[in-house]
């Protein structure tokens, strides 16, 4: 006879220490002492104060249940704000910083332990939360609405490891009444509007409008996030420059950012179709189009298909053929490619940024430590490991060489001379096959242009002059 199991609804708080392995490797005794002190003085008393119960501890984390989701969220806020104060005078490389995930769901108690979907989802939300941050599920947000004044940003529907269904995730902004993106924009008298539209296959796509002036559409690229982009110095200055002169329209590609993560089709044709969907939803008839990196091939396909809609085409850091379509790709290259995909599946979502740093070091070899760390974290938060692998596979199969002669729009191709990620020769080859395309080589080494790069100012001047007709 099957034993009766008692089920109940509970709010689950999951917390762990960001970068714990690295902290332990640098100072094992000091890290353990600090963690115990923080728990004794702050986190454990806060959990008890808000009627919570710790039912499991690990080396660096805790799982706690609360009868009220409001209590769980208030507890998390007080812990994270308290930790920020306790860390204020501590060197960043020695700080104990918690990541917290909160979910509400059906659980089963077995002795003192708690199991179930509510626990599993909370643990996965904690895994994608930023340092010192909190991620909550849609169910949590719905239940605290009107009870806690809590600014949140939508992270989209995300595929969490070993969770059968996609989860709508929100990140709590604990420092200010507005998200950091809104604070950055307000300083420049700008406001971003995020909207949604549906692709023909039902995938929900997020797009944004910001700035004033004539429209400019920017393609999606490797990893992006309509909100997080503003928080990263490596992206922020480019977006601000474009928004000063144009009404900038951009979107998150399917599978990452605020667009749906749970997608069946990630392909070149789907990306081109998504650009069509976004442009139509935005109500744009004729506009200049700018492609970045992998977005160049998508932009080329769109421009060839809709010659009457693209007034000017700007391509930066692009290529017409992906890795697997290039004649100089060797057997050893393919072996490294396969190994890289395996490592991505295992390490992309890890706290340890060592693997993501391989991409970062190619995309921005002269970045400062702060810029590299921010980009590493951006890649982790923007897409799942599975999606990152599928992106890499799709980009590897790009081949738009047959479309280059079909482009009719005036075209400007720009490429950094010593680009470590995409060799300049690929940019030159692309420009050579587009009728009357103008090619500009920019000084520098970074595939992702940084604010300090010598080619940054030239890039914006060339773009603005070209689009306005004076270039």
**DSSP designation for 438:** E
- For the chain, 471 residues long, the average pLDDT of each consecutive 10-residue run is 67 91 89 91 89 88 90 91 86 90 86 79 90 92 83 78 82 66 74 91 92 94 80 81 93 87 89 97 97 96 97 97 86 83 74 75 89 80 79 91 97 96 94 96 93 91 88 51
pTM of the model: 0.72
Euclidean distance between CA atoms 298 and 288, whole angstroms: 14
Q: What is the pLDDT of residue 458?
A: 94
Q: What is the secondary structure of 132-144 as a DSSP string?
A: T-EEEEHHHHHHH
Q: What is the pLDDT of residue 175?
A: 63
The answer to whether 257 and 282 are in contact (CB under 8 A) is no
Q: What is the pLDDT of residue 389?
A: 86
Q: Whose CA is closest to 445, among 367, 334, 378?
A: 367
239 CB burial (10 A radius; 0-12, 13-18, 19+): buried
Residue with tokens 């391509």: 315
Euclidean distance between CA atoms 341 and 352, whole angstroms: 17
Q: What is the pLDDT of residue 180?
A: 59
416 CB burial (10 A radius; 0-12, 13-18, 19+): buried
Q: What is the pLDDT of residue 102?
A: 95
Residue with tokens 């806020």: 77
Determine phi and psi for 340, rounding to 5 degrees: -65, -40
Euclidean distance between CA atoms 126 and 15, whole angstroms: 6
Cα Rg of the chain (Å, integer): 24
Q: What is the pLDDT of residue 1?
A: 45
Q: What is the secondary structure of 206-263 as a DSSP string?
A: EEEEEESSSEEEE---SS--TTGGGG-HHHHHHHHHHHHHSEEEEEPPTTSTTS-S--
The answer to whether 97 and 122 are in contact (CB under 8 A) is no
Domains in the chain: ranges and CATH = 7-172 (3.30.70.1230), 180-468 (3.40.50.1820)
469: left (phi over 0), alpha (psi -120 to 50) or beta: left
Q: What is the pLDDT of residue 331?
A: 86
Token pair belonging to 361 = 């070091």
Token pair belonging to 208 = 């944004």
The answer to whether 99 and 129 are in contact (CB under 8 A) is yes
């Amino acid at each position: 006879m099957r034993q009766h199991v008692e089920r109940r609804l509970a709010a689950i708080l999951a917390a762990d220490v960001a970068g714990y392995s690295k902290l332990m490797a640098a100072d094992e005794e000091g890290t353990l002492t600090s963690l115990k002190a923080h728990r004794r003085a702050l986190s454990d008393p806060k959990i008890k104060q808000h009627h919570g119960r710790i039912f499991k501890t690990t080396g660096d984390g805790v799982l706690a249940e609360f009868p009220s989701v409001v209590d769980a969220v208030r507890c998390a806020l007080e812990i994270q704000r308290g930790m920020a104060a306790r860390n204020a005078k501590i060197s960043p490389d020695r700080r104990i910083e918690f990541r917290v995930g909160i979910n509400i769901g059906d659980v089963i108690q077995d002795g003192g332990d708690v199991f179930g979907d509510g626990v599993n989802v909370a643990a996965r939300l904690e895994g994608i939360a930023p340092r010192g941050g909190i991620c909550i599920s849609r169910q949590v947000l719905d239940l605290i609405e009107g009870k806690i004044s809590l600014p949140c940003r939508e992270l989209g529907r995300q595929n969490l490891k070993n969770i059968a269904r996609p989860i709508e995730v929100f990140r709590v902004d604990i420092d200010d009444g507005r998200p950091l993106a809104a604070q950055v924009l307000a300083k420049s008298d700008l406001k971003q509007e995020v909207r949604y539209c549906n692709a023909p296959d039902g995938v929900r796509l997020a797009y944004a409008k910001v700035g004033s002036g004539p429209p400019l559409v920017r393609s999606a690229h490797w990893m992006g996030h309509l909100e997080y982009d503003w928080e990263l110095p490596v992206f922020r200055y480019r977006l601000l420059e474009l928004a000063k002169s144009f009404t900038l329209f951009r979107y998150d590609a399917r599978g990452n950012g605020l667009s749906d993560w749970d997608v069946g089709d990630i392909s070149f044709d789907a990306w081109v179709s998504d650009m069509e969907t976004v442009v139509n939803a935005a109500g744009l008839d004729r506009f200049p189009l700018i492609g970045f990196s992998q977005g160049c091939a998508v932009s080329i396909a769109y421009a060839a298909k809709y010659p009457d809609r693209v007034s000017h085409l700007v391509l930066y850091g692009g290529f017409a053929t992906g890795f697997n379509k290039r004649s100089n790709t060797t057997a050893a290259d393919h072996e490294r490619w396969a190994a890289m995909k395996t490592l991505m599946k295992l390490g992309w979502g890890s706290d340890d940024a060592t693997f993501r740093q391989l991409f970062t070091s190619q995309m921005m070899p002269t970045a400062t430590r702060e810029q590299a760390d921010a980009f590493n974290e951006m890649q982790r938060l923007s897409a799942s490991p599975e999606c990152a692998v599928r992106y890499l596979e799709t980009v590897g199969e790009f081949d738009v060489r047959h479309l280059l002669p079909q482009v009719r729009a005036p075209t400007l191709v720009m490429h950094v001379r010593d680009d470590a990620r995409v060799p300049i020769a690929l940019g030159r080859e692309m420009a050579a096959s587009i009728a009357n395309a103008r090619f500009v080589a920019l000084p520098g080494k970074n595939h992702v242009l940084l604010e300090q790069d010598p080619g940054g100012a030239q890039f914006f001047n060339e773009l603005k002059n070209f689009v306005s007709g004076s270039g």
